[in-house]
Chain A
């Protein structure tokens, strides 16, 4: 099994979730307020507009689905920044 983690500007969260849905994941977890620092500077999350705020999404899926997600996310990440990590995991129960 693969774990796909995505950190993205909050405003694009819905697009990432669309990609996950279309790739056919069975579920996902979202942490809406993810603060930190990246190539676009400090994301302090204190703006009224959430301009400087990231969101974090993770899901666990088969390798095939993970590949699909990676392909669909690449253009978005290239355009708006953010990160996508895919790693091997052990799913204890399902």
Chain B
């Protein structure tokens, strides 16, 4: 892999802030970001990415190209949890396999945002509809996971899945709701709307991302101790499945003729694992699964891997294929 690309990615303030947060825990400093603030930052990032995506979408309009990307996104959101589940079943019980498969079938908005910032630093861009694709990819994995659960788990009748509650959690969870809403606002208000929002949600964006990633580093660092308990199989899974998913994503993007920037963002969506929407839904619907497995894997293994190695790796491959 191009060493320069790796360096270009690491020498990006947000990524360095993530490592700074990680280091703070490993070196046992008392550094912490006061508790409600990370929630504000995450809300800010979702609003910013939604508004900007909506604005970009209003410029490009909803074309055949856009629909193609959205369909591909839906396809991967359904396919990944299914094959992930069968791989996991080689070693795990149904409950943990469902929870981890759903986690990897969904996406991480912060990985997407960090990848976008990397792409911008290379002077390239991606279509605003990728944000719509991201929103579409959040929820299906939760539903697929629960379908797998009803098919494969032998539960007592009184502990069955409450579908109303689960569907609500899948499609109306806060991050999906705010992304959909701001995407629509950005789309409806167009250029004028974005100009008004730009000072807060555009200019300050990278700084806020850096601040948020500092906290992510701290949270990931706290979970690093749990990695030992996860076991070698799942550690390997947490690194290899994202790479495999990215390769599938890149293959599909090439086959269906996606533009370079879009292909890169699509591969990142395929490779990333959820640590916000899905864990909350799984806690509610699959309490038998162990959250210190699925949260640790997505937060302390896959997220850092994607941020540090995955982003330049997938870009390297795409750059090679697209030229």
| Cα A47 to Cα B220 with chains together (Å) | 10
Assess the B219–A47 pair: CB atoms within 8 A. Answer: yes
- A49 and B222 contact, Cβ closer than 8 Å, known pairs A75-B158, A79-B287, A80-B287: no
- Of B158, B277, B280, B290, the residue contacting A11 (CB under 8 A) is B280
Assess the B295–A47 pair: CB atoms within 8 A. Answer: yes
Contact-residue bracket for chain A: 10 to 19
Contacts of A52 in B (CB 8 A): 291, 295
Question: A37-55: which residues lie under 8 A (CB-CB) from chain B?
Answer: 40-41, 44-52
Contacts of B218 in A (CB 8 A): 46
Assess the B283–A9 pair: CB atoms within 8 A. Answer: yes
- A47 and B287 contact, Cβ closer than 8 Å, known pairs A41-B292, A79-B159: no
| Cα A93 to Cα B39 with chains together (Å) | 40
| Cα A11 to Cα B279 with chains together (Å) | 11
What 1/0 mask marks residues of chain B from 266 to 300 whose CB sits below 8 Å from any chain A CB? 00000000011101100110010011100100000
Contacts of A45 in B (CB 8 A): 35
Contacts of B287 in A (CB 8 A): 79-81
B42 at the interface (CB under 8 A from A): yes
Assess the A48–B276 pair: CB atoms within 8 A. Answer: yes
| Cα A40 to Cα B35 with chains together (Å) | 22
Number of A-B contacts (CB under 8 A): 43
- A46 and B280 contact, Cβ closer than 8 Å, known pairs A41-B292, A79-B159, A80-B287: no
Question: B191-233: which residues lie under 8 A (CB-CB) from chain A?
Answer: 218-219, 222
| Cα A45 to Cα B283 with chains together (Å) | 14
Question: A1-55: which residues lie under 8 A (CB-CB) from chain B?
Answer: 9, 11, 40-41, 44-52
Assess the A51–B284 pair: CB atoms within 8 A. Answer: no
- A44 and B222 contact, Cβ closer than 8 Å, known pairs A49-B279, A49-B280, A51-B280: yes
| Cα A11 to Cα B169 with chains together (Å) | 11
How many Å from the CB of A63 to the closest CB on chain B? Answer: 27
SS of B interface (majority): helix
- Of A11, A40, A46, the residue contacting B222 (CB under 8 A) is A46
- A49 and B159 contact, Cβ closer than 8 Å, known pairs A9-B283, A41-B292, A79-B287: no
Assess the A48–B283 pair: CB atoms within 8 A. Answer: no
B190 at the interface (CB under 8 A from A): no
B38 at the interface (CB under 8 A from A): yes
- Of B38, B158, B291, B292, the residue contacting A48 (CB under 8 A) is B38
Contacts of A51 in B (CB 8 A): 279-280, 283, 291, 295
Contacts of B295 in A (CB 8 A): 47, 51-52
How many Å from the CB of B247 to the closest CB on chain A? Answer: 29
Contacts of B222 in A (CB 8 A): 44, 46
| Cα A80 to Cα B39 with chains together (Å) | 25
Contacts of A49 in B (CB 8 A): 275-277, 279-280, 283
Contacts of B159 in A (CB 8 A): 79
How many Å from the CB of A74 to the closest CB on chain B? Answer: 12
| Cα A75 to Cα B38 with chains together (Å) | 35
Assess the A46–B219 pair: CB atoms within 8 A. Answer: yes
The 10 A-B pairs with the shortest beta carbon distances in the complex, nearest first, are: A49-B280, A80-B287, A51-B279, A49-B279, A51-B291, A49-B276, A11-B283, A48-B276, A11-B284, A41-B292
Given contacts A11-B284, A49-B279, A51-B283, 13 further A-B contacts (CB under 8 A): A11-B280, A11-B283, A40-B290, A41-B292, A46-B218, A48-B219, A49-B275, A49-B276, A49-B283, A51-B279, A51-B280, A51-B295, A52-B291
Jot down 7 A-B pairs with beta carbons below 8 A, ordered by A.
Answer: A11-B283, A44-B222, A45-B35, A46-B35, A47-B219, A47-B279, A48-B276
